[in-house]
Amino acid sequence: EAGVTQFPSHSVIEKGQTVTLRCDPISGHDNLYWYRRVMGKEIKFLLHFVKESKQDESGMPNNRFLAERTGGTYSTLKVQPAELEDSGVYFCASSQKRSQGLDEQFFGPGTRLTVL
């Protein structure tokens, strides 16, 4: 079974440009999460989709970030316009919907974003 995939693996853009990151979750996983790791800091939650609906977007830093999950399948995270502090590694994770118990999240390899 294929794991979580992310594209691109690395993106270098200039301040003010737009970048779109893509995540393909494990097939059948209703939950999709975005996380970000800024250099030297911990991995931090950005938002959570259940199918196509945003369940929790409390971690989104500001309105320059827009996440979508069309049809409850893949998800995109757009940063527009990008700022220097947006540099970091963006991880996507997915999990099966469970009524109780641990929500085991499977992570993709991440997209390394560098804003110059």
Partner 1 sequence: QKEVEQDPGPLSVPEGAIVSLNCTYSNSAFQYFMWYRQYSRKGPELLMYTYSSGNKEDGRFTAQVDKSSKYISLFIRDSQPSDSATYLCAFQTGANNLFFGTGTRLTVIP
Q: Please give the residue ranges that form the binding site for partner 1 (CB under 8 A).
A: 4, 31, 33, 35, 40-45, 48, 55-56, 59, 91, 93, 95, 102-110
Nearer to partner 1 (CB atom), residue 17 or residue 114 = 114
Minimum CB distance to partner 1, residue 20 (Å): 19
Which residue lies nearer to partner 1 by CB, 14 or 56?
A: 56
Is 86 strand, coil or helix?
helix
Q: 26-56 in b/e burial notation, b at 16+ Cβ within 10 A?
A: beebbbbbbbbeeeeeebeebbbbeeeeeee
CB of 111 to partner 1, least distance (A): 11
- Cα 6 to Cα 17: distance, rounded to the nearest angstrom: 20
Pick between residue 13 and residue 30 the one whose CB is nearest to partner 1: 30
Tell me the Cα Rg of the chain: 14
Instruction: In angstroms, give the least distance from the CB of 52 to partner 1.
Output: 17
Shortest Cβ 73–partner 1 spacing (Å): 19
For partner 1, the closer CB: 17 or 74: 74
What's the DSSP call for residue 27?
T
Burial (Cβ within 10 Å: 0-12, 13-18, ≥19) of residue 114:
middle
